[in-house]
């Protein structure tokens, strides 16, 4: 359950949590017309910092552009709004949820007269994918949308109907998460995480062409791996590669770096998090938590006392 904070940012103003409401006839309610982000603010020895804030806001702008939504705020305005909100609420560490949606105005599918509303919410939040020693996951019977259906590079609300099918199915069958295949049968990603495989010291992840979101954590992990001198390959992942991998892990803002312990009840190697997963998780959490130097400029400090 969400722990409410004091304020929500709405179209440039901070409004009370309870006043952030939309009409049932808003376009988004009927047709899924929203784009959003999920961002984390980490606690640090000297306070707190938002992880890769401009990159997330750029993706929000990109998602909006794909759907012909013109956001009336610049990258800087959106990024500053997040800092302003966190400082006003005084809640950190936290999760940040910016959302741009088509509002109340038009009932038809064509949204041309629906106003665009932008909200930013922040609230405290913990771990996402269950299992500290690794998650038990399945390959989903649902696929990610084909490339010419719902564009997966847009982080759009409607895409998460597909994610819900994947996640609910996994859950009722006793798995922490599902891995969806793409329309050609290659492993793409989890319902809300990118997927990585390690085999013989090489890191593999699905390319953007395989119906994945361009994850910011995916990019961070690829950057860290290259920096550590580990070979990384973006290539289509055959399903069976998952079963014979040395290591498999998820990445995501919510999932962070989550080791996968088994897939379809087949253990990944000996079932324990592998050395490359651990090394990447160490680097990732080290930077996010301010215990290692921010050598890639990923952190935006916020003042919360």
Candidate segments 201-209, 249-257, 270-278, 287-295, binder of ligand PMP by CB under 6 A: 249-257
116 contacts ligand PMP (rule: CB under 6 A): no
Candidate segments 4-12, 64-72, 99-107, 208-216, binder of ligand PMP by CB under 6 A: 208-216
Give yes or no for a contact between 252 and 220, defined as CB atoms under 8 angstroms apart. no
Q: Say how many C-beta atoms besides its own lie within 10 A of residue 303's C-beta.
A: 11
Nearest residue (CB) to ligand PMP, 27 versus 218: 218
143 contacts ligand PMP (rule: CB under 6 A): no
Candidate segments 15-23, 26-34, 210-218, 282-290, binder of ligand PMP by CB under 6 A: 210-218
Ordered alpha helix ranges (H), the chain: 27-31, 53-66, 75-89, 159-172, 216-227, 239-243, 275-288
211 contacts ligand PMP (rule: CB under 6 A): no
222 contacts ligand PMP (rule: CB under 6 A): no
Beta-bridge mates of residue 194: 189, 251
**Which class for 108: exposed (0-12), middle (13-18), buried (19 or more C-beta within 10 A)?**
exposed
Nearest residue (CB) to ligand PMP, 161 versus 244: 161
Nearest residue (CB) to ligand PMP, 11 versus 184: 184
| Cβ-proximal residues to 9 (8 Å cutoff; 6+ apart), any chain | 15, 81, 82, 84, 85, 118, 119, 120, 121
98 contacts ligand PMP (rule: CB under 6 A): no
Alpha carbons 241 and 143: distance in angstroms, whole number: 17
Among 27, 35, 38, 96, binds ligand PMP (CB under 6 A): 38
Q: Which of 7, 19, 127, 155 is catalytic?
A: 155
Among 189, 203, 210, 299, binds ligand PMP (CB under 6 A): 189
Q: What's the min distance (Å) between Cβ of 305 and ligand PMP?
A: 28
Give yes or no for a contact between 283 and 230, defined as CB atoms under 8 angstroms apart. no
Among 156, 213, 245, 287, binds ligand PMP (CB under 6 A): 213
Q: Say how many C-beta atoms besides its own lie within 10 A of residue 209's C-beta.
A: 15
Cα angle value 286/193/225 (rounded, 5°): 45
Beta-bridge mates of residue 293: none
**65 flagged as catalytic:** no
Nearest residue (CB) to ligand PMP, 64 versus 103: 64
Alpha carbons 182 and 175: distance in angstroms, whole number: 20
Among 89, 211, 251, 277, binds ligand PMP (CB under 6 A): 251
* Interface of this chain with ligand PMP, residues 147 to 176, rule: CB under 6 A: 163
**How would you label 124-160 residue by residue, b for 16+ Cβ within 10 Å and e otherwise?**
ebeebbebeebbbbbbbebbbbeeeebebbbbbbbbb
Q: Say how many C-beta atoms besides its own lie within 10 A of residue 104's C-beta.
A: 16
Candidate segments 96-104, 246-254, 261-269, 280-288, binder of ligand PMP by CB under 6 A: 246-254
Nearest residue (CB) to ligand PMP, 244 versus 296: 296
Size of the site for ligand PMP (CB under 6 A): 14
- The residues annotated as belonging to the active site are 155
Binding footprint of ligand PMP on the chain (CB under 6 A): 38, 163, 189, 192-194, 213, 215-218, 251-253
């Amino acid at each position: 359950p969400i722990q409410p904070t004091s304020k929500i940012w709405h179209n440039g103003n901070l409004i009370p949590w309870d006043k952030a409401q939309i009409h049932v006839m808003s376009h988004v309610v009927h047709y899924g017309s929203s784009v959003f982000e999920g961002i984390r603010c980490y606690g640090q020895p000297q306070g707190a910092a938002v992880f890769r804030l401009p990159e997330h806001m750029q993706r929000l702008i990109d998602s909006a552009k794909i759907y012909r939504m013109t956001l009336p705020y610049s990258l800087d305005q959106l990024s500053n709004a997040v800092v302003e909100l966190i400082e006003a609420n005084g809640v950190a560490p936290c999760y940040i949820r910016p959302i741009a949606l088509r509002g109340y105005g038009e009932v038809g599918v064509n949204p041309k007269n629906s106003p665009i509303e932008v909200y930013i919410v922040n609230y405290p939040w913990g771990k996402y994918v269950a299992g500290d020693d690794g998650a038990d996951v399945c390959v989903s019977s649902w696929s990610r949308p084909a490339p010419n259906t719902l564009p997966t590079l847009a982080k759009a609300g409607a895409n998460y109907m597909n994610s819900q099918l994947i996640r609910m199915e996994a859950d009722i069958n006793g798995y922490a998460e599902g891995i969806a295949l793409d329309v050609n049968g290659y492993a793409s990603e989890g319902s809300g995480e990118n997927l990585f495989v390690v085999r013989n010291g090489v890191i593999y992840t699905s390319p953007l062409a395989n119906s994945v979101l361009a994850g910011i954590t995916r990019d961070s992990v690829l950057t860290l791996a290259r920096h550590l001198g580990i070979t990384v390959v973006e290539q289509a992942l055959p399903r069976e590669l998952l079963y014979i991998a040395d290591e498999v892990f998820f990445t995501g803002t919510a999932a962070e770096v989550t080791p996968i312990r088994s897939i379809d009840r087949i253990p990944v190697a000996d079932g324990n998090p592998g050395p490359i997963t651990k090394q990447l998780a160490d680097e990732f959490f080290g930077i996010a938590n301010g215990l290692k130097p921010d050598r890639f400029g990923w952190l935006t400090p916020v003042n919360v006392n």
